[in-house]
Amino acid sequence: MWNQLHQRIDDLYDEMVEMRRYLHQYPELSFHENKTAAFIADTYKKLNIPYQANVGGNGVIARLKGSKPGPTIAFRADFDGLPIQDEKDVPYKSKIDGVMHACGHDGHTATLLTLAKVLKEVQEELFGEIIFIHQHAEELAPGGAKPIVESGVLEDVDYVYGNHLWTNAPYGVIQTAPKEFMAGADRFEITIQGKGGHGAIPHQTNDAIVIGSQLVTNLQQIVSRRIDPLATAVLTIGTFQAGTTFNIIADKAHITGTVRTFDPELQDFIIQEMEKVMKGTTTSYNATYTFDYEKGYPPVINHPEQANIVLQAAEQVKGVEKAEMVVPSMTGEDFSYYLLEKPGAFFFTGAQKEGHIYPHHHPKFDIDERSMVLAAKTFIEILKSYDH
């Protein structure tokens, strides 16, 4: 049966690509994925697989029960797009102005729907139950995973697995990690209130640009000078906005950025240190500040046994040239919420398109569509590993 399933994935490759390209042309932003959710639900309806729509928002959950006893295993795919203008010159370019699938979620969805189709064909030979989690709003906190988990979907699940088509790795590579895999991703906003004035009379002002520049420099020293070099953290300033014209000293500056960590205690320490730095810097310049810190997705922490199952499964897939444990990535993912509830693992499937090296969230992002085949077959082999 298992070899038959691999062959069926190959047989359905053109259909999988067609599905992915359709979704690529009609992306929807996080929390607004109504038509995409309807497409997914309609697909399960045609496959005669029971499903539930509007789970935790726009989530769609389908269930396929085998005839033999066994564990309940969940597979997850996300399906939201990003507020980015598609700049690729391809027939399947996004038709929605200012929105595109710039992270591979269209491929995740096509992969899971195709997997469901081939498993439905052998339902009587399957064991346990397979749950297909189609999640909305991965790209925008608070995300879709948390409300889906809170809906109770995982209550009867024994193991949960997820995949991300990953253009940082070439086609033919599967990557995961035994524990820490992706970082917790937070964001912050700082507003500095100084005193503006004429550019020719700086001594009568409290220059928000100078204060902000000093603050940025001081904030960067938290990671470099206040944290153990063997610990892992990132503090990045993403925007700095101030001023209106060339000869006016700005009274206000607005700064935004992100903090990435794996350790909650380190996360809290960084927040405390940021407060100290902001207070000290602004006080020394007779300015004030406001600080808004939003804790985002928790880190993705794999379970060692399930991460090993991913590697062993990938090694059985024809076309996978390397299955490896890798160092953690500082990118974030709300798959973390599933792993906080149940044993499981998240993995990357190399999807770098030859000669097309644009990263995730780039206006020209695209994937090697063959990666969907490897992802689907890895899911099959993960399932097979529980067939005792």
What's the CATH code of the domain at 327? 3.40.630.10
Prior bond to 299 cis, omega within 30? no
Q: Are residues 76 and 152 in the same domain?
A: yes
294-303 pLDDT tens trace: 999 999 999 9
Q: Over pLDDT 70: what percentage of the chain? A: 100
Is residue 360 annotated as involved in ligand binding? no
Region 315-321: what's the mean pLDDT? 98
Q: Are residues 219 and 143 in the same domain?
A: no
Q: Reply yes or no on whether 80 is catalytic.
A: yes
| pLDDT score, position 159 | 98
Region 361-380: what's the mean pLDDT? 98
Q: How far apart are CA 75 and CA 11, in angstroms?
A: 21
Confidence of residue 331 (pLDDT cuts 50, 70, 90): very high
Is residue 164 annotated as involved in ligand binding? yes
46-59 pLDDT tens trace: 999 999 999 999 99
Q: Are residues 228 and 159 in the same domain?
A: no
Q: Are residues 314 and 378 in the same domain?
A: yes
Region 326-348: what's the mean pLDDT? 98
Is residue 294 annotated as involved in ligand binding? no
Q: How far apart are CA 29 and CA 216, in angstroms?
A: 32
Residue 83 clears pLDDT 90, i.e. is over it: yes
| pLDDT score, position 315 | 98
Q: Are residues 72 and 170 in the same domain?
A: yes
Residue 79 clears pLDDT 90, i.e. is over it: yes
Catalytic residue among 28, 86, 138, 368: 138
Q: How far apart are CA 80 and CA 145, in angstroms?
A: 12
Q: Please give the model's pTM, rounded to 2 decimal places.
A: 0.95
Catalytic residue among 78, 80, 86, 334: 80
CA dihedral 354, 357, 363, 365 (to 10 degrees): 50
265's tokens:
């205690």
Region 82-103: what's the mean pLDDT? 98
CATH number (domain holding residue 212): 3.30.70.360
Q: How far apart are CA 17 and CA 111, in angstroms?
A: 9
Q: Are residues 103 and 199 in the same domain?
A: no
Q: Are residues 224 and 260 in the same domain?
A: yes
| pLDDT score, position 270 | 98
Q: Are residues 367 and 261 in the same domain?
A: no
Q: Are residues 255 and 347 in the same domain?
A: no
Decide if 44 contacts 60 (C-beta within 8 A).
yes
| pLDDT score, position 210 | 98
- Quick check: helix, strand or coil at residue 2? helix
Q: Are residues 55 and 161 in the same domain?
A: yes
Residue 291 clears pLDDT 90, i.e. is over it: yes
Of 297, 319, 335, the residue that ends a domain is 297
Q: Which residues face 130 on adjacent strands?
A: 64, 73
Region 134-145: what's the mean pLDDT? 97
85's tokens:
């203008």
257-270 pLDDT tens trace: 999 999 999 999 99
Q: Reply yes or no on whether 334 is catalytic.
A: no
| pLDDT score, position 374 | 98
Q: Are residues 204 and 258 in the same domain?
A: yes
Instruction: Find the domain containing 14 and state its range.
Output: 2-182+299-384
Give the mean pLDDT of the chain.
98
What's the length of the chain? Answer: 388
Of 276, 297, 318, the residue that ends a domain is 297
Residue 388 clears pLDDT 90, i.e. is over it: no
31-40 pLDDT tens trace: 999 999 999 9
Of 237, 263, 297, the residue that ends a domain is 297
Q: Are residues 240 and 313 in the same domain?
A: no
88's tokens:
């690729």
Q: How many domains, in total, are found in the chain?
A: 2
Please list the alpha-helical segments (H only) found in the chain. 2-11, 13-25, 34-47, 105-121, 145-150, 208-226, 264-284, 304-314, 336-341, 371-384
Is residue 103 annotated as involved in ligand binding? yes
